[in-house]
A and B are shown apart, each in its own frame.
Chain A
Amino acid sequence: MATKKLVVVSAGLGQPSSTRLLADRLTTATREHLSLLGDEVSVEVIELRDLAHDITNNLLTGFAPPKLQVALDALSSADGMIAVTPIFTTSYSGLFKSFIDVIEPTAVTDLAVVIGATGGTERHSLALDYAMRPLFAYLHAVVVPTAVYAASSDWGTGAGAGSTALPDRVSRAAGELAALMHDSVRSSRVVDPFALPSGFSPTGSYGEE
């Protein structure tokens, strides 16, 4: 039985936070789906609120303080990621983007990701597809087709004509993530931090006589 590494990034600012609640629902559902596939899962939750000062300091000094470094290392070697942010002023929150700005450019390459967001009304749900999805596409992450948006009203709404209830969307997204994580070898990869670019020569193409 393989153990897959799941990293959950929650950018909610409140305590308790509906963003964290959505992240937890997605985590539970992903764990269930992986269990059906015969995988165990270890979960690391990164609450960005707890790292907010470290993230700002990293932006200013260029290096991650120890607690943030632990989170960054977890992400680099994850098999799957659940990324949930509140929607602020049409897009992901500034804190969420600042976190993305301090990860290595290749840290989430090939990483399977479920994107999720919370907001006061359903009107902002497309922010997932015009803001979150392109952000992860740029970073070469593999974003699953189903993104999960939870407006305040979704927490008290069942399935109706032409719409699914939140638990159904959570389950579908988690199933898509679990399928990709099942095949992932990211957590067992060994990355050489000093790998030189292919074809690199210490004298260059023109250095030799």
Chain B
Amino acid sequence: MQFGIFSVSDVTADPTNHTTPSEHQRITDIVTIAQKAEEVGLDVFALGEHHNPPFFSSSPTTTLGYIAAKTETLLLSTATTLITTNDPVKIAEDYAMLQHLSDGRVDLMMGRGNTGPVYPWFGQDIRQGIPLAIENYALLHRLWREEYVDWQGKFRTPLQGFQSTPRPLDGVAPFVWHGSIRSPEIAEQAAYYGDGFFANNIFWPKEHYMQLVNYYRQRFEHYGHGTAEQAIVGLGGQAFMAKNSQDAVNQFRPYFNEAPVYGHGPSLEDFTEQTPLTVGSPQQVIDRYASMREYFGDYQRQLFLMDHAGLPLKTVLEQLDLLGEEVVPVLRKEFAKNRPATVPDGPTHASLVAASKVAALGAAREGSDAAAEAGAATGAATGPGTGAAFGLAASGRPSERV
């Protein structure tokens, strides 16, 4: 089970003193926040991608590359990477590069983006959001797994004999999550590829996301990647804590009331009751999130939104101390209890490399069995190196069936 934080990178005025940090300040703060996440024992830091104010994170690989150099163990991810308006070729190149520089500490979460004007600004049409996500990812998936790609699609210029460089580290593509708030098409896509599915789980009632996750789990099994309970699920979450729960409510209320997403809407009390946002003592956060597995099944990744709505850096760092020192260690124990051994952990580069070796061995065994059978049937000699599996190995292509 992986724990971490994700940031949408908003530059928002602090409603308690009406000061707004500069972009530069927020950009340097985010590096501090990521370093802090590692220091307090979190596993993952994920950063959003936006192309309009008040967000600063237009270029996540630059930021993540810098953070990679400043950290040792932190797994770097995105929340989300715009699979619709980015060229999939550039995503393949950028994140393979980041994968090398970070020694494999990178994965991605694909999202469509819901800011209407971003599509035309990048030459696309929001009404084509799903077809763009489907086609662009199909290409990205191949670019990381095939040496030379011939490609023709609807949304970008064709490719003939294109080789994306650098090749993925150890011949293993970065793990991919697909994030969606309401589209079954994206859950279906994640299931088809055996990729992860991430449910935002912060703005709406969990019941909504439970349906979507359950659907993804069923389809994951349908496509033969394992049982439904072995599907790779990630959840968002949101918390604000103080030792004393009423202090947390008092401190967070002004930020809640003015927050870009839910400000001036429902009361803090209604919103915390209806959505996973938890404002209170660390124990309340533990209780709320330890119960998530009862609703979603055993899952692999839990990310919290901690820096937003104008919360000052000092407060965010204090929150991370509470999260890393008091909440996550207990959650790790809670989630480990009665977790079936067959449910996989959150994917890492090391686990993917190991799985690809196992798959390659399996393919080699199958290949030689098939060759032997063919040989027996036809009476032809089949020497080593002529089976399909050896052909695969020779081309350096890892099995897709990871």
Contact = CB atoms under 8 A, between A and B. Distances in A.
Interface of A: 56-57, 60-63, 65-66, 193-197, 200-209
Interface stretch (B95-103, B260-268, B336-344): B260-268
B62 interface: no
Q: Which 10 residue pairs spanning A and B have beta carbons closest together?
A: A207-B138, A202-B192, A60-B265, A206-B153, A204-B134, A194-B184, A204-B135, A63-B204, A202-B189, A57-B266
Interface of B: 131, 134-135, 138-139, 142, 151-154, 184-185, 187-189, 191-193, 203-205, 208, 211, 215, 261-262, 264-266, 270-271, 274-275
Given A194-B215, A196-B188, A201-B134, A209 B203 contact: no
Q: Which of A56, A62, A194, A200 counts the most B-chain CB atoms under 10 A from its CB?
A: A194
Query: Which of A65, A196, A204 has most chain B Cβ within 10 Å?
Result: A204
B185 A60 contact: no
B185 A196 contact: yes
Contact of A60 (B131, B142, B262): B262
B270 A65 contact: yes
B208 A202 contact: no
Nearest to B155: A206
Contact of A63 (B189, B191, B203): B203
A4 B350 CA distance: 60
A90 B135 CA distance: 47
A62 B204 CA distance: 8
B24 to A, nearest CB: 31
A62 B269 CA distance: 17
Main secondary structure of the interface of B (DSSP, over half): helix
Contacts of A208: 138
Contacts of A193: 184, 211
Contacts of B192: 202-203
A209 B142 contact: yes
Contacts of A204: 131, 134-135, 138, 153-154
A202 B266 CA distance: 37
A166 B154 CA distance: 59
Given A63-B205, A65-B274, 9 more contacts: A63-B275, A193-B184, A196-B184, A196-B185, A196-B188, A203-B192, A204-B138, A206-B153, A207-B138
12 contacts: A57-B266, A61-B203, A61-B262, A65-B270, A193-B184, A194-B211, A201-B134, A202-B134, A206-B152, A206-B153, A207-B138, A208-B138
A203 to B, nearest CB: 5
A60 B264 CA distance: 8
Contacts of A62: 203-204
A193 B211 CA distance: 9
A203 B188 contact: no
Contacts of B185: 196-197, 200, 202
A63 B201 CA distance: 12
Nearest to A53: B266
Nearest to B189: A202
B369 to A, nearest CB: 25
Contacts of A203: 134, 138, 192
Contacts of B204: 61-63
A61 B215 CA distance: 24
A57 B154 CA distance: 39
B294 to A, nearest CB: 20
B265 A63 contact: no
Nearest to B266: A57
A12 to B, nearest CB: 25
A57 B265 contact: yes
A70 to B, nearest CB: 13
Contacts of A207: 134-135, 138-139
B269 to A, nearest CB: 12
Given A61-B262, A66-B274, A202 B188 contact: yes
B115 to A, nearest CB: 14
Contacts of B191: 202
Nearest to A56: B265
A202 to B, nearest CB: 4
Contacts of B188: 196, 200, 202
A108 B223 CA distance: 35
Interface-central residue, A60, A196, A207, by most chain B CB under 10 Å: A207
Contacts of B131: 204
B197 to A, nearest CB: 12
Nearest to B223: A202
A193 B215 CA distance: 10
B1 to A, nearest CB: 27
A66 B271 CA distance: 11
B75 to A, nearest CB: 26
Contacts of A206: 135, 138-139, 151-154
Contacts of B187: 194
Centre residue among B215, B264, B266 by max chain A CB count within 10 A: B266
